[in-house]
Amino acid sequence: MTNGDVRGDVEQGEGGKFESKYSDEDVVDALVDAHPEPLKVGEVADRVGCSETTAHNRLHGLHDDAYPGLATKKVGANARVWWVDPDQLPDE
């Protein structure tokens, strides 16, 4: 594998280090675009263009870090929906 190669949701950058192709901002933007509708992980993944695993990990990481404006709610036995309140998002 050479620099610039892509494997799943990561790509190899300079120096051979693998980095995610998708940022937290990509995930938040998908939720902002869907506002006021909440999205399931699979719907976030579809909007971002990443795997469900990547969307799940990014969403839970943002939630664990108490990202401003991000909210989630368990619906059903094994489902969770996610949304953002754009008024609470950090200023850019």
Alpha helices in 6-84 (DSSP H): 24-34, 41-48, 52-64
What pLDDT, on a 0 to 100 scale, did the predictor assign at position 81?
A: 98
What pLDDT, on a 0 to 100 scale, did the predictor assign at position 90?
A: 79
Q: Kindly state the DSSP code that residue 31 receives in the 8-state scheme.
A: H
Spell out the per-residue pLDDT of the chain, length 92, in tens. Answer: 444 444 456 566 677 666 678 899 999 999 999 999 999 999 999 999 999 999 999 999 999 999 999 999 999 999 999 999 888 877 75
What pLDDT, on a 0 to 100 scale, did the predictor assign at position 12?
A: 60
Residue 35, sorted as left (phi over 0), alpha (psi -120 to 50) or beta, turns out to be beta
Rounded alpha-carbon distances, angstroms, from residue 22 to 10, 30, 50, 59: 8, 12, 7, 12
Query: Could you read off the pLDDT of 43-60 as tens digits, one per residue?
Result: 999 999 999 999 999 999
What pLDDT, on a 0 to 100 scale, did the predictor assign at position 75?
A: 94
Residues β-bridged to residue 25:
none
Burial 57-70 (b: 16+ CB within 10 A, else e): bbbeebeeeebebb
